[in-house]
Amino acid sequence: MYAFKKIFAGFIIGLLSGFLGIGGGVFMVPIMVSFFGFTQHVAQATSLAMIIPTALFGSIVYNLHGSIDIKIAALITVGSMTSAFFASRLMVKLPAAQLKLLFGILLLLVGVRMVIA
């Protein structure tokens, strides 16, 4: 039952990620912390590891439909890989409560921006 719940959660996250074109971390981190008892650090790190195969499969389908601007994606990837390296090193040093607060604030800001934009 333990594995089934996690696979089912991953299935739902995959549906939302593929349908909405967003990283699964937006959904997966809160689910792992709230429902599975993961620490904020472990949830965020696990989410990053899960993004690779999830994004790959979603990107293949979007690319087959001509929906990806490869040039822009490549340029943004260069910047995001660099910043992700440094941000990950900082993340492991922050207290869990502070990390959870920052994550929540970011989700709130993104949500508000999407509603008013």
More confident residue, 15 or 74: 74
Per-residue pLDDT reduced to its tens digit, 16-28: 777 776 767 788 8
> Which range is least confidently modeled, 4-8, 66-70, 95-99?
4-8
Alpha-carbon span 94 to 41, nearest angstrom: 9
Residue that the structure tokens 């809160």 belong to: 30
Phi-psi region of 94 (alpha: psi -120 to 50; beta: other; left: phi over 0): beta
Residues in the chain: 117
Residue 50 pLDDT: 85
Distances (CA, A) of 104 to 13, 74, 77: 18, 28, 24
Could you tell me which of 57, 61, 32, 53 has the C-alpha nearest to residue 44? 32
- The alpha carbons of the chain give a radius of gyration, in whole angstroms, of 15
Looking at residue 39, its pLDDT comes to: 92
pLDDT of residue 85: 92
Give the C-alpha distances (Å, rounded to integers) separating 44 from 49, 66, 77: 9, 31, 19
What is the pLDDT confidence band of residue 116, given thresholds at 50, 70 and 90? Answer: very high
**Predicted pLDDT of residue 30:** 87
Name the DSSP class of 94: S
With a pLDDT cut of 70, the percent of the chain lying above it is 97
Q: What is the pLDDT of residue 79?
A: 94
Q: Which residue has the tokens 């979007």?
A: 62
Tell me what percent of the residues of the chain surpass a pLDDT of 90.
Answer: 43
pLDDT, the chain, mean: 88
Cα dihedral across residues 97, 101, 103, 104: positive or negative:
positive
